[in-house]
Amino acid sequence: EVQLVESGGGFVQAGGSLRLSCAASGFTFDNYAIGWFRQAPGKEREGVSYICSNGTTSYEDSVKGRFTVSRDNAKNMVYLQMSALKPEDTAVYYCAAFQGPEVLLLLRLRSLYDYWGQGTQVTVSS
């Protein structure tokens, strides 16, 4: 059974930090890029950060310089270190697995992802 399970969300004050984890199982993790997406109430789900199967990373402008994505293929884990959090970062955060040409143009397309986690809530207070 394919599973992506996010954890590490919570409540934090503006300027604080959180580390999200994404645990993968049931598929060949090494062959997949992983994307982090988020969805705030009343808004569309949007991309945050992407890490390719070879470890190459990309970030959307809204989080660049504040978030860091990493992966541990030995543990089938992906992490999203979030720092300098802002109230506008409040959202449910999802990790998703993508297999295909690992170019940013495609990594940004939610519809191309094969598997999704259930999400973890991040709330940043002002």
pLDDT tens-digit readout, 51-96? 999 999 999 999 999 999 999 999 999 999 999 999 999 999 999 9
Percent of the chain with pLDDT strictly greater than 70: 100
Contact 78, 71 (CB under 8 A): yes
Strand-pair partners of 59: 49
Secondary structure of residue 110 in the 3-state scheme: helix
Quickly list H helices, the chain. Answer: 104-107
Contact 6, 94 (CB under 8 A): yes
Question: Could you give the CA distance from residue 29 to residue 44 in angstroms, rounded to a whole number?
Answer: 27
With cut-offs at 50, 70 and 90, classify the pLDDT of residue 45.
very high
The amino acid at residue 66 is R
Q: Which of 35, 55, 44, 53 is nearest to 106 (CA)?
A: 35
